Amino acid sequence: MSAAIEVHDLTRRFGTFTAVDAISFDVAEGEVFGFLGANGAGKTTAIKMLIGLLAPTSGDARVAGFDVMTQSEDVRRHIGYMSQRFSLYDDLTVRENIALFGGVYGLTDAAVRDRERALLEDLQLGHAADARVESLPLGWKQKLAFSVALLHEPSVIFLDEPTGGVDPITRRQFWEMIYAAANRGTTVFVTTHYLDEAEYCNRVSIMVDGRIAALGTPQELKQQFHERSLDEVFVRLARPDAGQQAGTMSAGSSPEESVSAPGPTPR
């Protein structure tokens, strides 16, 4: 069985600045993989390459069995994507969003109707099927967005900070949906700023300055770094003054940020 995501020396430079610096890792089918890092560590740039939206400078990656460089269309057909910033169309109803995304994913009308029925039932959203998405509470929106991103039964789903700003109960319900999807064999690639959520992942990687500074199960990382929680591991790895590393910065910002004045690097 091949890995759902295979990444080899994947690199992206913007001018003289290396946003993603030769990262390599595999994600197994059905795995929940946490992709962590400080703001500006290169996570978003890496995800853009994995979903076929940004060409790597060098290295290669296969997602769902397809090369992200030469088969980006196939990659996009076989993945789902959801972020806190973009998920659904606010001024369309729940039903219209399902129909729209079903069409975008190339599902037949009959398939869309079947999935719609199942989705509304699973989420207990039948009463709100004809309500505009903007009228739903944020927690429902996020759960609906996740279900819509799975409409075409992708083999890999990318979740970019899916739980930002939602209440603690919804956050946990959302993770149960993630578990359920993984149980059905879907590979989940997720970023989060909540370190307790990282504990729910099978494995996590922590990106620092464009490189993968640590990768393993939450348990392994805590043992490796002799810390009691992943939060402590994260802070230790990502703390800017540790070992005078180049400063962290967001992809696309200019490179002088990494050549900071002596002392702690601003973030």
User: Rule CB under 8 A: which residues touch other proteins?
Assistant: 37-41, 122-124, 137-139, 143, 161, 164-170, 172-173, 175-177, 179-180, 183, 193-197, 199-200, 218-219, 229-231, 234-235, 238-240, 248-250, 253-254, 256-257, 260-261, 264, 266-267
Going by the DSSP 8-state scheme, the letter that residue 93 receives in this structure is: B
Closest to other proteins by CB, 51 vs 230, is 230
Residue with Cβ nearer other proteins (30 or 65): 30
Q: CB 6: neighbour CB atoms within 10 A?
A: 17
Q: Whole-number minimum distance, CB 138 to other proteins, in Å?
A: 5
Instruction: State the Cα–Cα distance between residues 63 and 181, nearest whole angstrom.
Output: 18
Q: Which one, 165 or 185, has the nearer CB to other proteins? A: 165
Closer to other proteins by CB, 8 or 184: give it: 184
Q: Residue 8 and residue 23: Cα distance in Å, rounded?
A: 6
CB of 33 to other proteins, least distance (A): 15
**Least distance (Å) between residue 169 CB and other proteins:** 5
Q: In the block, which residue shows the tokens 């703001």?
A: 39
Considering the complex, state which of residue 21 and residue 160 has its C-beta at the smaller distance from other proteins.
160
Which residue bears the tokens 């929106």? 141
> Shortest approach of other proteins to residue 65 CB, angstroms?
26
| Distance (Å, whole) CA 65 – CA 75 | 8
Residues in the chain: 267
Q: How many Cβ atoms are within 10 Å of 205's Cβ, its own excluded?
A: 22
